[in-house]
Chain A
C-alpha cells in the first residue's frame, strides 16, 4: 500500500499552460482571418509556416538541450510565438525570411536565455525587429487590400509562389501601410493635402481598421477568459491616445488623429497580444500599468520621429529592458505593511560603526 505524499495544496484548479496558450491562439483567429480576408492568402501562409517552424525549432533545440520534449511542446508556447510573428509579417515575404525570424525568436531570444519563462525579451518581437533591420525592403512593403476572391485577388497558387520566392509581387499587388505612407509624405505636405491626394490603394484604410477591430475582439476574448488583465492594454492604448491627442491638438497639420494611430497600425494587436506576453512583461498590477504606458509613449515617440513607420516592436523591446527596474519599484503593498517596498535594499555591513 502506498499513499501519495505532497506539500499542500492537494487540489488544483483545472488549468494548464497549454490551455492558456490555446486560448491565446483562439483569440488570434479573428485577427488572422480578417487580415487574410483583406490582404490575401499570403497572411495565412505566413502564419501557418511560422507556427510549424516554431514547433520544429523548439523540438530541435529541446533535443539539443536534452530536455523532455512532450511536456514542453504541449505548452503551445512555440505555436503562439510563431503565430504572432507570422501575422506581423508582410504577405509577400519568402519562406527563408520567416525562418530567419523564427530562429531569432525561438533559438536566440527564447532558448539561449533558458527557455520558456526565462526570456527577458518578447521572442516574436525579437524576430520581427531583427527582420525589420536586416531586410527593410521586404519588411516594409505591405499588400494592397485585394481580397481573397475578387477579380484582382491573388490566387492561392500565386501566393504560394511568392512564399517560395519563385516570383516577385508586382507593383499592383503591393502598397504601403498607412503609417508608412504618412511617414514618407514629405515635410511640406499638410496632412489634409496628403490624404486628399489619395496616396494608398483603395480600401487600405478600411482594411486596416477592420483588422484592428478584429484584434480588439480577440483581445476582448482574452480579457473575458482572464488570460490577460486589463492593465497593460488599457494603459498602453491610454497613453498612446493621450499623447496622440496632445500632438494632434498642437499641430493637426503634421500629426495624425489619435484614431488613426489606434486603428491604422499594430497598436491594438500590440496592446492585447504582444505587450501582454507575461514572461517579458512587468509583474505587479501597478508595474503593468507603467509598463503599458511606457510602451504607448515610446510608440508615439518613435512613430513621428523614428526611422521606421511603426514602433510597437521596438517599444515593447525597449520596455522589456526596463522590466526588472519597474518590478523593483512597483511592488504592491503587502498585507500588514504600512507601505510597499521600493527598489533594492543593500544590506549594510557595518552599521555599528559610528563616531565616538
Chain B
C-alpha cells in the first residue's frame, strides 16, 4: 500500500487532499450545528445600523423589512433619514459600493407637532404612528410625545385637517459641540465678524437692542 502510494505521487496527494476535505467538512458541519445562531445575524446587524424612524420612505413597512430586503439584494441607498452616514455604514458592513442617496436628504432632525387648537380628535394620526408616540382619544385633542417621535412624517398625511407640522427638534441647540479643527496646515483660530458697541456710556436703545 505504502509503496503503491509512493509510486503514484499524484494519487497520494489527491487522496490526502480528499481526506483533509472530508475531515474539515465534517468539522465545519459539526461546528455549524453546535454553534448555530438563531435568526439571520446579518439582518439584525443591518437593522441596527438603520435609524429606526420606521418611516417607510424606503418602500418597506419599517426598518426591519428593509433590512431583510437589503440582505435579499436591494439597494442600500434608500434610507433618507439615515443619509450618507447610514449608507457608508451599510457599505462598510456589507462590502458594497456606497451609492448616492436615493431621495432627498434630511438636513436636521425634526419632530411632529400637533397644533392642538385645530385638532379634531380623529385618532388617524395615532393609528399611523409607528412608535405609538401620539397620545389622545377619539374626540379629544392629540399630542405628540416629543421624546418618542422619530420624525417619520407618517402622521402628516392622514390628518384630515392638516394640523400637524414637522418642526426642528427642540434639542437641537443642546446638541452643539465643538467642530473638528481644520487639520494640519491650517490656523485653528479664525477672525469672526464681531458686534461691538461703541463704548459711550449711554448708547441709544435701538443700538443695543439686537439679539
Q: Is B193 an interface residue (CB 8 A)?
A: yes
Q: Are A4 and B189 in contact (CB under 8 A)?
A: yes
Q: Is A67 an interface residue (CB 8 A)?
A: yes
Q: Is B196 an interface residue (CB 8 A)?
A: yes
Docked complex Cα distance between A7 and B179 (Å): 10
Tell me the nearest residue of chain B to A67, going by C-beta: B185
Docked complex Cα distance between A6 and B179 (Å): 11
- Which residues from A are CB-within-8-Å of B188? 6-7
Distance from B208 Cβ to chain A, minimum over Cβ atoms (Å) = 16
Distance from B151 Cβ to chain A, minimum over Cβ atoms (Å) = 28
Tell me the nearest residue of chain B to A6, going by C-beta: B189
Q: Is A3 an interface residue (CB 8 A)?
A: yes
Per-position contact with B for A1-30: 1 when CB-CB < 8 Å, else 0?
Answer: 111111100000000000000000000000
Q: Are A7 and B181 in contact (CB under 8 A)?
A: yes
- Which residues from A are CB-within-8-Å of B195? 1
Docked complex Cα distance between A68 and B188 (Å): 17
Q: Is B1 an interface residue (CB 8 A)?
A: no
Distance from B132 Cβ to chain A, minimum over Cβ atoms (Å) = 24
Distance from A216 Cβ to chain B, minimum over Cβ atoms (Å) = 35
- Which residues from A are CB-within-8-Å of B189? 4-6
Docked complex Cα distance between A3 and B192 (Å): 5
Q: Are A68 and B192 in contact (CB under 8 A)?
A: no
Q: Are A2 and B185 in contact (CB under 8 A)?
A: no
Docked complex Cα distance between A174 and B205 (Å): 89
Q: Is A196 an interface residue (CB 8 A)?
A: no
Q: Are A5 and B196 in contact (CB under 8 A)?
A: no
Q: Is B190 an interface residue (CB 8 A)?
A: yes
Tell me the nearest residue of chain B to A353, going by C-beta: B37
Within 8 A of B (CB), among A275-310: none
Per-position contact with A for B173-211: 1 when CB-CB < 8 Å, else 0?
Answer: 000001001000100111111111000000000000000
Docked complex Cα distance between A1 and B195 (Å): 7
Q: Are B192 and A2 in contact (CB under 8 A)?
A: yes
- Which residues from B are CB-within-8-Å of A338? none
- Which residues from B are CB-within-8-Å of A2? 191-194
Docked complex Cα distance between A164 and B26 (Å): 69
Contact partner of A4 (CB less than 8 A), chosen from B178, B181, B191, B196, is B191
Distance from A63 Cβ to chain B, minimum over Cβ atoms (Å) = 15
Within 8 A of B (CB), among A26-56: none
Docked complex Cα distance between A4 and B191 (Å): 4
Q: Is A71 an interface residue (CB 8 A)?
A: yes
Distance from A346 Cβ to chain B, minimum over Cβ atoms (Å) = 16
Contact partner of B190 (CB less than 8 A), chosen from A5, A68, A71, is A5
Within 8 A of B (CB), among A68-92: 68, 71
Q: A6-B188, A7-B188 are in contact. Are A1 and B196 (CB under 8 A)?
A: yes
Docked complex Cα distance between A67 and B185 (Å): 9
- Which residues from B are CB-within-8-Å of A68? 185
- Which residues from A are CB-within-8-Å of B192? 2-5
Docked complex Cα distance between A7 and B189 (Å): 7
Tell me the nearest residue of chain A to B38, going by C-beta: A353
Distance from B10 Cβ to chain A, minimum over Cβ atoms (Å) = 41
Tell me the nearest residue of chain A to B179, going by C-beta: A7
Docked complex Cα distance between A67 and B184 (Å): 11
- Which residues from B are CB-within-8-Å of A67? 185
- Which residues from A are CB-within-8-Å of B191? 2-5
Distance from A87 Cβ to chain B, minimum over Cβ atoms (Å) = 29
- Which residues from A are CB-within-8-Å of B178? 7
Interface centre among B178, B192, B195 (most CB of A within 10 A): B192
Tell me the nearest residue of chain A to B192, going by C-beta: A5
Distance from B39 Cβ to chain A, minimum over Cβ atoms (Å) = 11
Per-position contact with B for A57-72: 1 when CB-CB < 8 Å, else 0?
Answer: 0000000000110010
Distance from A117 Cβ to chain B, minimum over Cβ atoms (Å) = 8
Docked complex Cα distance between A90 and B88 (Å): 53
Docked complex Cα distance between A2 and B193 (Å): 4
Docked complex Cα distance between A4 and B181 (Å): 15
Tell me the nearest residue of chain A to B187, going by C-beta: A6
Distance from B41 Cβ to chain A, minimum over Cβ atoms (Å) = 8
Q: Are B185 and A1 in contact (CB under 8 A)?
A: no
A sample of 29 cross-chain residue pairs with beta-carbon separation below 8 angstroms, ordered by A number, consists of A1-B193, A1-B194, A1-B195, A1-B196, A2-B191, A2-B192, A2-B193, A2-B194, A3-B191, A3-B192, A3-B194, A3-B196, A4-B189, A4-B190, A4-B191, A4-B192, A5-B189, A5-B190, A5-B191, A5-B192, A6-B188, A6-B189, A6-B190, A7-B178, A7-B181, A7-B188, A67-B185, A68-B185, A71-B185
Chain A positions within 8 Å of B, measured between CB atoms, are 1-7, 67-68, 71
Q: 13 other contacts beyond A1-B195, A5-B191, A68-B185, with CB at 8 A cut-off?
A: A1-B193, A1-B194, A1-B196, A2-B193, A3-B191, A3-B194, A4-B190, A5-B189, A5-B192, A6-B188, A6-B190, A7-B178, A7-B188
Chain B positions within 8 Å of A, measured between CB atoms, are 178, 181, 185, 188-196
Top 6 A-B residue pairs of the complex, sorted by shortest distance between their CB atoms: A6-B189, A3-B194, A2-B191, A5-B192, A1-B196, A1-B194
